Structure 1
Amino acid sequence: MLNDIADRINTALNGQTFDGSLKFDCGQDGVLVLADNRATTVDQDADCTIRLSPENLKALLTGKLNPMTGVMMGKLKVSGNPAVAMKLGSLLK
């Protein structure tokens, strides 16, 4: 599932740049890292890490889960620089 999401993000990036690095940590299901203008499932350090379930990651990226609501409800936990996470929404529109 994470590989499919990485492929979709890479397609959506379509030459756009993403300043910074962002990691979605889905625990035992793996990670999705957006760095160097590319999405990958290879774990690495990132400027911002968002911990969430694979289902909530899918909901977040498809617009079905509002990021602020997700944080308030405990569905996502953000560590590091949250400003990096805020850039993702405008990039994938």
Structure 2
Amino acid sequence: MSQVIAAAVEALNAKVGGFDEGTAKFVIEDEGAIMLDSDGAREGDEEAEVTLKANRDTFEGMLNGDVNPTTAFMTGKLKVEGNMGLAMKLGSALA
């Protein structure tokens, strides 16, 4: 597991913990993927109800509060595939 993915898993677990709303996948360009579900965050690249894709800087900014997930989506820095309602719930959890 890359250091970026490991740090992101740790940060997601601290910030969001388990996500009872469904399954989500975060794809960090050139680094890997993270799964988030009711058990919490872990490295993985499985099927999910919603997939969020961003580069490392955008993803780290969302985790530390410097980047608003909605703004990142509206400006094209965050791509969303799948359940948009679930993506909005995740955005609220990350904000």
TM range, smaller chain: 0.7 to 0.9
Letter of the aligned partner of 1:72 in structure 2? Answer: M
1:64 corresponds to: 66
Richer in strand (by share): 2
Alignment of 1:33-48 (within 5 A): 33-48=35-50
Which residue of 42, 55, 58 maps to 2:57? 55
- Conserved? CA contact 1:18–1:91, under 8 Å: no
**How many pairs were matched up?**
92
Contact 2:61–2:67 under 8 Å retained in 1: yes
CA contact 1:18–1:36 (8 Å) conserved in 2: yes
CA RMSD of aligned residues (A): 2.0
Shift of 1:79: 0.8
Checking the alignment, whether the CA contact within 8 Å between 1:23 and 1:33 is kept in structure 2 is yes
Match of 1:77 in 2: 79
| Equivalent residues of 1:13, 1:37 under 8 A apart | no
Identity of aligned residues (%): 33
Pick from 1, 5, 8 the counterpart of residue 8 of structure 2.
5
Q: Which runs of 5 or more residues in structure 1 are unaligned?
A: none
Query: So what's the TM-score if we normalise by structure 1?
Result: 0.81
**Deviation readout 1:50-69 (Å, 9 max, x if unpaired):** 11011111111222111221
Cα distance in 1, alignment partners of residues 19 and 52 from structure 2: 20
Taking the aligned partners of 2:80 and 2:86, their CA distance within structure 1 comes to 11
Q: What runs of 5+ residues in structure 2 fail to find an aligned partner?
A: none
